[in-house]
């Protein structure tokens, strides 16, 4: 580890914290439906959309109606993307003449992008046409991200409103978030990437002669526009197979730093927005403090593990840290930081191959996802996932003080606790169940490149990434098979929407409750004790649930490495 590496990490954290309030202020304006400076230009576009679609933005919806509209919207988008991929060969903007995408891969990819997972069982530059990338995939990058933020707004309203029957209007929320947040930032972001060397063209591949005299084909396309929303919306699906390790997606140390900031920017802003929505910004800062503690612990462990390197190579006279699978232009610190950022959020973009990390270095990204994408988390999904843990934490706190638990002025009763447990249970049930099934089935065992605990880690990582809607992968797993395309597709859909519905039910239940003022017997939810309780609840639940699987995978892999055995 170096001082330069620590300065990079601390600088990243400092800038991130400085962004929390400005981004939160903008999000809060959208949460309340207030005018912003962009309304002067984009307001007519918003009103025109409502007129054409027959939507009345002021007509509020109860949680059930909100959920049904959200589910139907995403189901239609999934079917649309499936059709685009299956018809790719006969659609325009296919300069390389790529064939239609197979039915199993189309199924997996359509669900993947609708669920904000962006799991990719394919190489983008050799599988997807420009039209498929733009119309089939990038459109999901905007709308799945907008859906996540809209759902967070619905839960915020549940906490903030008193004796109400509604939690907002899904169509108005998604429209405003897309028009006034995601789209304008993505345009500016894409221009920055173009200026930094990221391609943006509708042309196909070009051939060049290298300095060695070899003819090489370079894939091009509308990369910058997809890259911008891929990061900002914590989507993660790369235009190229190598994702953000590819110089056309992430050419410089500056673009790498900006990409990491953009993955977290909306997530940290939503914590401040939540505090503002419930009338106490200290509540938001407390949530952010708990998130940052978990994030810094994970970053420190990953950086240490990768900087320490492989003891087997040290014995052979090869000193230094672990640079396998990493880009020289980024190095160990930036690669370790990126791996924790992208898995603490539900982004899944990678600038290094996690399969090549040390066992412990690869375990932290895996564990981040197993915590339920709540360490900052995906846009919207992170904060509403974290609030589910907060409900359980305040329930435990209520048992400690011997009274009905309360959180931000709402009594937390049996219904909310049961729904929170139901939502949180989805991850371990599907992750461990599908991993176990693939570990004893011939079709599942055909996927891992490596044997032993590392091969098991590849399977476990795949289903963890799918259910947590992350999308990153241990590169050794061959997932473009009917078994993995099908099972991972089902896992991604469950991981996204089987958590959302109970969460919206909690929002509806809370919105109908009266406000309960804090009293002398209330457990304070803004101080250090509360932050520590939140961190403890998240780690204990994650640790107790997933520790046996981690022991079979990365922990066993690490112990074997110490004894001189590699897989």
Interval 96-151: pLDDT, tens: 899 999 999 999 999 999 999 999 989 888 899 999 999 989 999 999 999 999 99
pLDDT at 556: 93
Residues above pLDDT 90, as percent of the chain: 78
Q: 3-class DSSP state for residue 563?
A: coil
| Host H or E run for residue 368 | helix 359-370
Q: 3-class DSSP state for residue 533?
A: helix
Which residue ranges make up each domain of the chain?
26-251
Residue burial 538-561, b: 16+ Cβ < 10 Å; e: rest: beebbeebbeebbebbbbbbbebb
337 in Cβ contact with 221 (< 8 Å)? no
378 in Cβ contact with 371 (< 8 Å)? no
Q: How far is CA 432 from CA 4, 64, 121, 546, 565, in A?
A: 39, 30, 21, 8, 26
Residues above pLDDT 70, as percent of the chain: 100
What mean pLDDT is predicted for residues 460-464?
95
Cα-trace Rg, the chain: 23
What mean pLDDT is predicted for residues 262-270?
96
Residue burial 266-295, b: 16+ Cβ < 10 Å; e: rest: bbbbbbbbbbbbbebbebbbbbbbbbbbbb
Interval 3-60: pLDDT, tens: 999 999 999 999 999 999 999 999 999 999 999 999 999 999 999 999 999 999 999 9
Terminal Cα-to-Cα distance of the chain (whole angstroms): 26
Interval 227-251: pLDDT, tens: 999 999 999 988 998 999 999 999 9
20 in Cβ contact with 288 (< 8 Å)? yes
State the DSSP string of 396-409.
HHHHHHTS--EETT
What is the Cα–Cα distance from 278 to 555, expressed in whole angstroms?
A: 42
What is the Cα–Cα distance from 74 to 148, expressed in whole angstroms?
A: 11
Of the candidates 431, 439, 473, 478, which has an alpha carbon nearest to the alpha carbon of residue 456?
Answer: 439
Cβ neighbours of residue 432 under 8 Å, at least 6 residues apart? 545, 546, 549
Give the pairing type, strands 206-209 and 215-218: antiparallel
What is the Cα–Cα distance from 119 to 328, expressed in whole angstroms?
A: 25
């Amino acid at each position: 580890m170096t001082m330069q590496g620590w300065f990079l990490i601390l600088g990243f954290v400092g800038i991130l914290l400085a962004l929390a309030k400005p981004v939160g202020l903008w999000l809060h304006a959208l949460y309340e439906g207030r005018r912003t400076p962009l309304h002067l230009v984009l307001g007519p576009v918003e009103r025109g959309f409502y007129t054409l679609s027959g939507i009345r933005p002021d007509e509020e919806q109860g949680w059930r109606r909100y959920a049904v509209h959200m589910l139907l919207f995403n189901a239609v988008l999934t079917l649309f993307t499936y059709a685009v991929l299956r018809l790719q060969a006969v659609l325009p903007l296919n300069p390389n003449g790529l064939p239609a995408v197979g039915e199993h891969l189309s199924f997996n990819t359509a669900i993947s992008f609708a669920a904000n997972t962006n799991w990719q069982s394919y190489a983008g530059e050799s599988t997807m046409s420009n039209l498929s990338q733009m119309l089939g995939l990038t459109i999901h990058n905007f709308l799945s991200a907008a859906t996540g933020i809209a759902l967070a707004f619905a839960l915020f309203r549940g906490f903030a409103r008193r004796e109400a029957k509604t939690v907002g209007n899904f169509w108005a929320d998604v429209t405003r978030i897309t028009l006034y947040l995601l789209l304008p930032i993505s345009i500016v972001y894409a221009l920055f990437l173009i200026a930094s060397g990221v391609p943006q063209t509708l042309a196909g591949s070009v051939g060049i002669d290298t300095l060695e005299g070899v003819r090489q084909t370079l894939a091009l396309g509308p990369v910058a526009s997809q890259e911008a929303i891929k990061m900002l919306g914590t989507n993660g699906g790369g235009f190229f197979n190598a994702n953000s390790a590819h110089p056309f997606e992430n050419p410089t140390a500056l673009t790498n730093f900006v990409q990491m900031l953009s993955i977290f920017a909306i997530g940290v802003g939503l914590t401040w927005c939540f505090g503002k929505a419930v009338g106490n910004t200290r509540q938001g800062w407390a949530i952010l403090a708990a998130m940052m503690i978990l994030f810094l612990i994970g970053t420190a462990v990953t950086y240490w593990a990768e900087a320490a390197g492989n003891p087997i190579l040290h014995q052979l006279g090869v000193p230094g840290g672990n640079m396998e699978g990493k880009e020289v232009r980024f190095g160990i610190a930036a690669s370790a930081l990126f791996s924790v950022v992208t898995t603490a959020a539900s982004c899944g973009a990678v600038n290094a191959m996690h399969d090549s990390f040390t066992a412990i270095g690869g375990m932290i990204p895996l564990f981040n996802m197993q915590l339920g994408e709540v360490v900052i988390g995906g846009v919207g999904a992170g904060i509403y996932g974290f609030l589910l843990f907060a409900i359980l934490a305040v329930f435990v706190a209520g048992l400690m003080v011997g009274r009905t638990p309360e959180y931000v002025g709402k009594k937390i009763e049996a219904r909310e606790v049961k729904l929170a447990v139901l939502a949180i249970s989805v991850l371990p049930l599907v992750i461990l169940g599908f991993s176990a099934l693939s570990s004893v089935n011939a079709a599942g065992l055909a996927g891992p490149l490596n044997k032993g605990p590392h091969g098991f880690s590849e399977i476990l990582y795949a289903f963890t990434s799918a259910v947590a809607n992350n999308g990153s992968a241990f590169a050794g797993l061959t997932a473009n098979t009917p078994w993995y395309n099908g099972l991972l597709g089902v896992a991604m859909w469950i991981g996204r929407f089987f958590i959302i519905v109970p969460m919206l039910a909690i929002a509806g239940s809370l919105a109908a409750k009266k406000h309960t003022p804090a009293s002398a017997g209330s457990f304070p939810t803004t101080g250090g004790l509360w932050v520590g309780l939140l961190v403890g609840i998240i780690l204990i639940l994650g640790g107790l649930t997933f520790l046996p699987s981690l022991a079979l995978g990365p922990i066993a892999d690490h112990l074997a490495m110490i004894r001189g055995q590699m897989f």
